[in-house]
Amino acid sequence: MTAWEACDGFRRIRTARLVFAGIFCLHGVFLLAFAGAGLDLALSGKGALGQNPGTLGIVIIEGTLAALAVNLSYILLITDLLSSRLARKAETDYLTGVYNRGGIIQMGEAMGQEPLSIIIADLDLFKKLNDKYGHAAGDKVLRNFADTVEKNLRPWDALGRFGGEEFLILLPRLGAERASRIAERLRWEIEKTEIPWESQPITYTVSMGISSRGENETKDLNRLIAEADEALYTAKSLGRNRVVWFDSGQMTIVRASEPLPGREA
C-alpha cells in the first residue's frame, strides 16, 4: 500500500473514528464524575457510592449504553473498511493489480498543483509479441512490467495501467532529471529481463515519455499527460527502447539506445 492509499483509507474511516472518540470521551467524563462523587460521599461519611441502589442502576445503564455504542462504532468501522476496499477494487486493474485509468487519473488530480513528474510508458511491439506467443504470454509481460516498476518506486509514488500496454507513473515532488534517471533505470532493467515461457524466454523493451511541473508552474494533469505523450511519440519515432523528456517544448533524449540485435526497431 502506498502512502497515498494509506491517507485515502484513513480519510474513508473518519466516521468510525469520530464515533469511537466521542464514546471514549463521554465514558471518561462519566467515570471521572462518578469517582469524584464517590470520594465526596466517603469523605462526608455517608458511605460508598456503590451502596446506593439508584446510583448503582445509573452505572449499569451507562455501562450497557457504552457497550452498545462501542459495538455500533465497530460496525461502522467494518462498514467503512469494506467500502474502502470496494472503492480500491473499483480503481484497480484486474490483471496487474495496479491502478486502472480512472484510479491513476484520480490520484494525479488529488495531488493538486504540487511539483510532479509523470512518465508514460508503452511496451514496444506488444501486438507482435501477443501474435507470436499468445495473449497469456502478453498478460504475463504486462504483470512483469507492473511488478518491475513497483519495485523501483518510492512508497508515495503511484503506477496505473493507462490502457492496453500503456502505463502512467506519478512521481510527486521529483524533478525531471531525477525522473529521467528512474525511467532510464527502468528501461535498462526491462531490456535485460527474460521471462520464462515454454521453449524460450520472452524479452521485451519499453519506450517512455516524461513531463514535469515545477514549484511555480501551473500545468494541470491533462497538460502533463499531453506533453509526456508527445515525448513518448518521439521516443517511438526514433526507434523505440528510449526515454525522452519533454523539456520546455524541446525533446531531450535521455539515452539514444540502438535497437537490440535481432529485434525489429
Q: Which of 165, 177, 194, 215 is catalytic?
A: 165
Split at pLDDT 50, 70, 90, the class of 259 is: very low
165 catalytic per annotation: yes
Give the predicted TM-score (pTM) of the model.
Answer: 0.68
pLDDT, tens digit (0-9, with 9 covering 90-100), for 55-70: 666 666 766 777 776 6
**What percentage of the chain has pLDDT greater than the value 70?**
62
* Least confident span in 69-73, 116-120, 196-200: 69-73
Provide the residue ranges of all domains of the chain, joining segments of one domain with +. Answer: 3-90, 101-255
Q: What's the pLDDT at 216?
A: 85
Q: What is the mean pLDDT of residues 85-98?
A: 80
Q: Beta partners for 92? A: 99
Split at pLDDT 50, 70, 90, the class of 262 is: very low
Instruction: Please report, as a single letter, which amino acid is at residue 242.
Output: R
Q: What is the DSSP letter of 50?
A: G
Distance (Å, whole) CA 222 – CA 219: 8
Q: Locate 179 and state its grid cell.
A: 525522473
pLDDT, tens digit (0-9, with 9 covering 90-100), for 157-192: 999 999 999 999 999 999 988 999 999 999 999 999
- CATH assignment of 101-255, given 3.40.50.150, 3.30.70.270, 3.40.630.30, 3.40.50.300? 3.30.70.270
Spatial contact of 144 and 123, defined as CB atoms under 8 Å apart? no
CB half-sphere exposure, 4, CA atoms < 13 A: 20
Residue 145 clears pLDDT 50, i.e. is over it = yes
230: which residues sit within 8 A by CB, 6+ positions away? Answer: 209, 246, 251
Cell numbers 525522452 label which residue? 244
